[in-house]
Amino acid sequence: MEALIIRGGNPLYGDVPVYGAKNSILPLLAASLLVKGESTFENCPKLSDVDTSVDILRLLGARVEINERTITVCADEVESKEIPCDWMSKMRGSILFFGAMLSRFDEGKSCRPGGCPLGERPVDLHLFVMEQMGFSVIGCEEDFCCKRAEKKDKKRKFRLRIPSVGATENAILLAVLTPGETKIENAAREPEIGDLIAFLNKAGAKISGAGSKTLKIEGVSSLKGVRHRVISDRIAAGTYLLAAGTAGGSVTVKGIDESLLRAAMPPLREAGFLVETFPAEIKLTRKSRPLPFSKLSTSPYPGFPTDLLPQFMAVAAYAHGTTLFVDNVFENRFSHVPDLEQGGAEIDVAGNVALVYGKEKLFGMHAKAKDLRAGAALLLAALGAEGETVLTGVEHIDRGYERIEEIFCTLGGDVKRQKEE
Ligand code: EPZ
């Protein structure tokens, strides 16, 4: 196990390159199972979830080559119709590989996916989509196998109870090769879904409505391998910018357009930060102690992203006033709060609501990351704290951030990675 040792107090200055989005490369790699020939993905992030995805593809029999930030997949030889549970349990995104397998083979066996413990995280919407696409689902939410007797060529339409990102992605993966027209209502609209649609349409799919609540998919008989550049990671970019919010200084993220972080811009300016945007760059400068965000309430895209809530809370912990946070997407988005309180933060939590009373100073803590974004939030808080923080559970952070200690050291932070005794 590893820990990050952070000595807070250094303001951060400099540029951070932003690479492909974790939540885009995962569905794209799953989609490569549906394509004949080679799919090539550029601008890929170097993350443990990507390593897991590559392992799953190779386990299924695909050929995968990695050259720096380019991943090339040829899935022509894939025959396996089962994803072992210990692979499914490693991350939430594994369920997308199951959906792609069903789409290709009309059958598949697996079990519940893993992922951050943000609450119940059921898969009922995924099973609903599979049934809507003609599969009979045997089993429960723990272990299930699915089989489709025939692919009926017909018009089908269904509505998602929640605009679930993963269920929308699985619906797309299942519909692209199913004869007939599939209409998905109340679909999620995240940019990463638009990226998946762009790749599939380039490969020969017929999907319309990207970015809207209604997707229409005309099934095609096959898809061919193409080259695709993964869109930048808006959550990683937002995280790096917010580090200047807790530690002070001025951070510029490069390779990301402001349009991907539109919902985050107003609260950043409300806090008194100087936010400057340039083509494919965003710069945040903290000139004085942040003002409170007043209220931040998450909702599906294009609303305020749940994946940035913990990091905004780290900034709010230092603000000159009180901020109300409401997470309307997940039930347990506050796993970092007890550790922040240990560092001197004052936070009241009731269900999916948290009230943060900002403090001028926080102090080093012995903290443990319990999920990816909570870990990032604790790191941000530690960068601005007085004294030393020991942050364990770094494996959660490595799922979504590349060598995060190197990034913050480049900016002037004092962050070391050490093996835990
Ligand atoms: C994706 O998770 C992301 N993960 C999450 O990012 C992100 O927080 C989330 O979308 C919301 O934007 C990946 O893309 C790999 P959902 P996903 O299905 O698809 C409920 C990160 O930090 N729900 O949109 O699992 C669910 O419980 C991760 O990068 C059901 O009820 O999210 C939640 O309350 C964390 N039944 C809501 O929908 C289902 O079958 C939204 O979940 C599925 C979901």
Domain boundaries, given as residue ranges, for the chain: 2-18+233-419, 22-229
Q: Could you tell me if the CB of 121 is within 6 A of ligand 1?
A: yes
Split at pLDDT 50, 70, 90, the class of 421 is: low
Greatest Cα-to-Cα distance within the chain, rounded to the nearest angstrom: 65
Distance 419 CA to ligand 1 centre (A): 31
Distance 93 CA to ligand 1 centre (A): 9
54-82 mean pLDDT: 97
What does the alpha-carbon distance between residue 202 and residue 306 come to, in Å, rounded to a whole number? Answer: 30
Q: What is the DSSP string of 246-310?
A: HH-EEEEEES--GGGGGGGHHHHHHTT-EEEEETTEEEEEE-SSPPP-SEEEB-STTSB-GGGHH
| Neighbouring C-beta atoms of residue 239, cutoff 10 Å | 29
3-state DSSP of 345-367 = CEEEEECCEEEEECCCCCECCEE
| 2-18+233-419 and 22-229 share one fold | yes
- Give the closest residue (by CA) to ligand 1 atom 38: 164
Supply φ then ψ for residue 95, to 5 degrees. Answer: -65, -20
| Contacts with 209 (C-beta within 8 Å, 6 or more apart), sequence order | 187, 215, 216
- The set of catalytic residues is 116
Q: State residue 21's pLDDT score.
A: 98
Q: What percent of the chain has pLDDT over 90?
A: 90
396-402 mean pLDDT: 96
235-293 pLDDT tens trace = 999 999 999 999 999 999 999 999 999 999 999 999 999 999 999 999 999 999 999 99
Q: State residue 178's pLDDT score.
A: 97
Split at pLDDT 50, 70, 90, the class of 127 is: very high
DSSP annotation of 32 reads G
The CATH number of 22-229 is: 3.65.10.10
- Give the closest residue (by CA) to ligand 1 atom 11: 165
| Contacts with 383 (C-beta within 8 Å, 6 or more apart), sequence order | 6, 8, 10, 12, 243, 246, 247, 408, 413, 415
Sheet with 38-42: strands ordered across: 63-67, 70-74, 38-42, 227-229
Q: Could you tell me if the CB of 330 is within 6 A of ligand 1?
A: yes
What does the alpha-carbon distance between residue 48 and residue 228 come to, in Å, rounded to a whole number? Answer: 21
User: In this structure, are residues 296 and 312 in contact, taking their beta carbons and an 8 Å threshold?
Assistant: yes
Q: How high does pLDDT run on average in the chain?
A: 96
Split at pLDDT 50, 70, 90, the class of 141 is: low
Q: Could you tell me if the CB of 18 is within 6 A of ligand 1?
A: no
> In the structure encoding, which two tokens stand for residue 293, read together?
């965000």
Residue 101: pLDDT above 90? yes
What does the alpha-carbon distance between residue 417 and residue 408 come to, in Å, rounded to a whole number? Answer: 12
Residue 419: pLDDT above 70? yes
Residue 100: pLDDT above 70? yes
Residue 371: pLDDT above 70? yes
* 114 or 361, which is more confident: 361
* Strands 388-392, 366-368: pairing kind: parallel
294-341 pLDDT tens trace = 899 999 999 999 999 999 999 999 999 999 999 999 999 999 999 999
Distance 121 CA to ligand 1 centre (A): 7
The CATH number of 2-18+233-419 is: 3.65.10.10
DSSP annotation of 106 reads S
| Contacts with 135 (C-beta within 8 Å, 6 or more apart), sequence order | 102, 106, 146, 147, 148
Give the lowest-confidence range in 43-47, 130-134, 149-153, 354-358: 149-153
Q: How far is CA 309 from CA 165, 202, 292, in A?
A: 17, 34, 14
- When computed from its CA atoms, the radius of gyration of the chain, rounded to whole angstroms, is 21
Q: State residue 96's pLDDT score.
A: 97
Q: Could you tell me if the CB of 302 is within 6 A of ligand 1?
A: no
> In the structure encoding, which two tokens stand for residue 120, read together?
């119940």
Q: State residue 15's pLDDT score.
A: 98
Relative to the CA of 119, which ligand 1 atom is closest? 27
Q: Could you tell me if the CB of 199 is within 6 A of ligand 1?
A: no
- Give the closest residue (by CA) to ligand 1 atom 37: 329
- Give the closest residue (by CA) to ligand 1 atom 17: 166
